[in-house]
Amino acid sequence: MFIWCSMFQTCPAFIGLLFFVCFFTSVAVHGVYAMEDNAYPALTTIPWDHSPITVYIDNVNVPEHYSPTYKEQVESAMAYWENGGNGHLAYEPEFRLVDSESEADIYIMWVENLEKDAGVENGVAGFARPYEINGKYVRVDIVLEVGNYEGYAWKQYGDANMRELAKHELGHALGLGHSNDRRDIMYPTYDQKDNIDPLLVERTRPFIYAAVIVSAITVSLSIINWLRYRGKRRSVEDKFLGGKHGRS
């Protein structure tokens, strides 16, 4: 008897959860599409106020599975952008390698595994973190990992993979955002969930806060309604069933 009672009890929470999920999903999807609508979002059109841009490739403090050939891949990626890159830069960058971190505009380092060593989300292979003053970059830190887990097996990145990854992150350091063209180096293959695209995060954050607040209110209202209803139902049951709440 009264099986519907327990069904009903779970309903408000479920509806609340559903609201929460719907809101959050639509907001997240909206954020992503907002970015994709814009065919080629430059984070900053000409981010550097000087040339050449100095680069320090840290091949001294390296993780266990670092390959000495990775440095060449970064140099090759630098040459790629100096020679026109993907054709989407509004300027011609020129790089100069330097011997210390303190002289560097762009600092490039490796870690064994980004999820473990930098606490970033699963699936991220590299990120570029620009520091900006008055709309110009004063420094960009690029962190690349040397391998990743595929299933349970750890797999080291090969040179070709590292070169593409370096090209992509250097593209961010030169002011480019993500492309929605799968063939473009700035398509987010390597750092799909990278946390560096400050535009996306900044644009989406207020929506996320709003969604969380709205969901919290929705859930509270559902609970209040349910409590009221339960009160009424109890008194009806008490009246007709003499105090037995038909749970058994």
Q: How far is the CB of 27 from Zn ion (least distance, A)?
A: 21
What is the footprint of Zn ion within residues 161-220 (CB under 5 A)?
A: 188, 191, 194
Structure tokens at 17: 């959860």
Which x/- pattern, by CB under 5 A, does the window 14-43 give for Zn ion? ------------------------------
Contact 147, 113 (CB under 8 A): yes
Q: How far is the CB of 118 from Zn ion (least distance, A)?
A: 15
Computed from CA positions of residues 62, 63, 69, 73, in that sequence, does the dihedral angle turn out positive or negative?
negative
**Considering beta carbons, is residue 105 or 194 the nearer one to Zn ion?**
194
**Considering beta carbons, is residue 168 or 215 the nearer one to Zn ion?**
168
**Considering beta carbons, is residue 74 or 211 the nearer one to Zn ion?**
74
Q: How far is the CB of 110 from Zn ion (least distance, A)?
A: 17
Longest alpha-carbon distance in the chain: 87
Query: Which residue number places its CB atom closest to Zn ion?
Result: 191
Q: How far is the CB of 4 from Zn ion (least distance, A)?
A: 51
Contact between 145 and Zn ion per CB under 5 A: no
Query: How many residues belong to the chain?
Result: 248
Q: How far is the CB of 186 from Zn ion (least distance, A)?
A: 7
**Considering beta carbons, is residue 105 or 191 the nearer one to Zn ion?**
191
**Considering beta carbons, is residue 124 or 211 the nearer one to Zn ion?**
124
Site size with Zn ion, rule: CB under 5 A: 3
Q: How far is the CB of 168 from Zn ion (least distance, A)?
A: 6
**Considering beta carbons, is residue 35 or 211 the nearer one to Zn ion?**
35
Spell 121-136 as b/e; 16+ CB within 10 A means b.
eeebbbbbbbeeeeee
Residues making contact with Zn ion (CB under 5 A): 188, 191, 194
